[in-house]
Amino acid sequence: HRDLKPSNVMLGDFGEIYVLDWGLVKLIGRLGAADRGLVDASNAATTGQGSVLGTPGYMSPEQLRGEVDRVDQRADVYSLGSILFELLVREPLHPRGATKEKLISVLTTDGARTRSRPRGLSVPDALDDLVARATRLHPEDRLETASAMSEAIEAYLDAPG
């Protein structure tokens, strides 16, 4: 997707989740037989090395640095981790407003911890660990896919107690 942020994730009337604004989507990997014909690659826009597209407070460090060859599904995992952080702590992972401070925060925060924000909120360790694993600086240190993140959340929800 490459531009996941709270305003691009909507909740439906029956609890379903909708992801909006597919303008920066880039297909990664090979198309399967069922996918052929869905995409006309001859007209696809390309993202050049050094291009920065997305929303700074939610984009991954590699995306912010314009390392388009390193932007893959783990960049979306980073964005989802930033959104989860905000849901749990009720404030964004990276500073609002001032762009310089926000950019520095994106490039230096490695494995965000919800408990680092003193707001009197009690975030379960499993969710704090999930946010930390999703927001690692280096993509190879993050959860591999959004599906893996979803499975971790479901395991937390299904756990006794």
b/e burial code for range 84-95 (CB count within 10 A of at least 16 → b): bbbebbeebbbb
Architecture of domain 52-158: Orthogonal Bundle (1.10)
Report the 3 state secondary structure along 58-124: CCCHHHHCCCHHHCCHHHHHHHHHHHHHHHHHCCCCCCCCCHHHHHHHHHHCCCCCHHHCCCCCCCC
CA 107 to chain centre: 14
Rounded to whole angstroms, how far apart are CA atoms 138 and 61?
A: 8
Per-residue confidence (pLDDT) for residue 21, from 0 to 100: 72
Q: How far apart are CA 83 and CA 65, in angstroms?
A: 20
Each residue's pLDDT tens digit, 118-157: 666 789 999 999 999 999 999 999 999 999 999 999 999 9
Chain segment 38-87, per-residue pLDDT in tens: 333 333 334 555 556 778 889 999 999 989 888 899 999 999 999 999 99
The full set of domain ranges for the chain reads 52-158
The span from the CA of 2 to the CA of 147, in Å, is 16
Q: Which of 3, 72, 76, 128 is catalytic?
A: 3
Contact 11, 17 (CB under 8 A): yes
Q: pTM of the entire structure?
A: 0.77
Question: Tokens in use for 32?
Answer: 């399967």
**How far apart are alpha carbons 27 and 25 in whole angstroms?**
7
pLDDT of the residue at 24 = 55
Q: Known catalytic residue: 3? A: yes
